């Protein structure tokens, strides 16, 4: 069982909806990430939080808004999404400062209608 | 940005045979590499990692080889089993970007019983 838990597992939303994805890590890590996984594409880094401060924002549209209230929790708030935003959204955590792998959750499968 | 690529998008092997999955990377400054396995409906799962000061590292039924001269990484799976069927992809970390990882698109491994 993964030490990184994501909810919901599946989400269908209309373009005018507001929803949030939740991630929780139980590994004692100090960095958390949001990645987007689309078919036949490499994982795309969206946001990185290190010690609860956002340190990376890879030119992600403002309709995606991250929140990291503490080192164990990460949210991705969604608003006015487009159909092309349909994808698997993966949360990951790691220990920053050392060579350490990312540990992923099982993702939220998002479909925008 | 950097790109990490895989030579073959699909690979089929007979159960019991050895599998070799390859990965090329482009930045000689990369100093940490990871192999992930992703099964259908799940997030990427850490398999094995290797640092640039090593050429080879072995785990349980898996071996990672690193050839820094040609910037090539491979994953060898011994005695491949049906449970090994998944998408495998490599990731590289560039030391000058902190803990930012770059991922390949993946190779889909199918084990034929």
Question: Using a CB-CB distance cutoff of 8 angstroms, which residues of chain A are in contact with residue B99?
Answer: 31, 48, 50, 94, 96-97, 100
Closest in B34, B45, B100 to A45, CB measured: B100
Q: What is the pLDDT of residues A53-68, one digit of tens each?
A: 777 777 899 999 999 9
> Using a CB-CB distance cutoff of 8 angstroms, which residues of chain A are in contact with residue B100?
45, 48, 56
Taking only the tens place, the pLDDT of each residue in A35-59 is 999 987 889 999 999 877 777 777 8
- Cross-chain Cβ contact A90/B32 below 8 Å: no
Banded pLDDT at B4 (limits 50, 70, 90): low
* Rounded CA separation B30/A2 (Å): 27
Maximum average pLDDT range among A91-100, B18-27, B80-89: B80-89
Summary mean pLDDT of chain B: 89
Please list every residue in chain A whose beta carbon sits closer than 8 Å to the beta carbon of residue B91: 102
pLDDT band at B5 (very low <50, low <70, confident <90, very high): low
> What's the order of all strands across the beta sheet hosting A4-7?
A4-7, A18-25, A73-79, A64-70
- Taking an 8 Å cut-off on Cβ atoms, the answer to whether B100 and A48 are in contact is yes
* DSSP secondary structure letters along chain A: --SEEEE-SEEEE-TT-EEEEEEEE-S--SEEEEEEE-TTS--EEEEEEETTEEEEE-S--TTEEEEEEETTEEEEEEES--GGG-EEEEEEEE-TTS----EE---EEEEE-
What totals of helices (H) and strands (E) does chain B contain, helices first?
0, 11
Cβ atoms of A106 and B41 within 8 Å: the answer is: yes
Contacts with A107 from chain B: Cβ below 8 Å: 42-43
Residue in chain A nearest B104 by alpha carbon: A42
Band (B94; pLDDT cuts 50, 70, 90): confident
- The DSSP call for residue B48 is E
pLDDT at site B6: 47
Q: Do B32 and A99 touch (CB under 8 A)?
A: yes
pLDDT at position B1, please? 29
Residue A8, preceding bond cis, omega within 30 degrees?
yes
Q: Which of A47-56, A83-92, A104-113, B55-64 has the lowest mean pLDDT?
A: A47-56
Residue B102 CA to residue A35 CA, distance in Å, equals: 11
């Amino acid at each position: 069982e993964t030490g990184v838990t994501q909810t919901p597992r599946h989400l269908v939303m209309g373009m005018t909806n507001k929803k949030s994805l939740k991630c929780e890590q139980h590994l004692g890590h100090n960095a958390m990430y949001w990645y987007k996984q689309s078919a036949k594409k490499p994982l795309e880094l969206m946001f990185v939080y290190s010690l609860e401060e956002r340190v990376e924002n890879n030119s992600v549209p403002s309709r995606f808004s991250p929140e990291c209230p503490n080192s164990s929790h990460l949210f991705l708030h969604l608003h006015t999404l487009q159909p092309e935003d349909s994808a698997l959204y993966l949360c990951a955590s790691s220990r920053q400062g050392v060579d350490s792998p990312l540990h992923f959750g099982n993702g939220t499968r998002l479909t925008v209608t | 940005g950097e790109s990490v690529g895989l030579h073959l998008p699909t690979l089929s092997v007979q159960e019991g045979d050895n599998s070799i999955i390859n990965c090329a990377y482009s930045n000689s400054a990369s100093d940490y590499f990871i192999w992930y396995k992703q099964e259908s409906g799940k997030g990427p799962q850490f398999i094995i990692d290797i640092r640039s000061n090593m050429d080879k590292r072995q785990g349980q039924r898996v071996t990672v080889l690193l050839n820094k001269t040609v910037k090539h990484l491979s994953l060898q799976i011994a005695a491949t089993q049906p449970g090994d069927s998944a998408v495998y992809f490599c990731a590289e970390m560039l030391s000058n970007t902190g803990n930012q990882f770059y991922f390949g698109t993946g190779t889909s491994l199918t084990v034929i019983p």
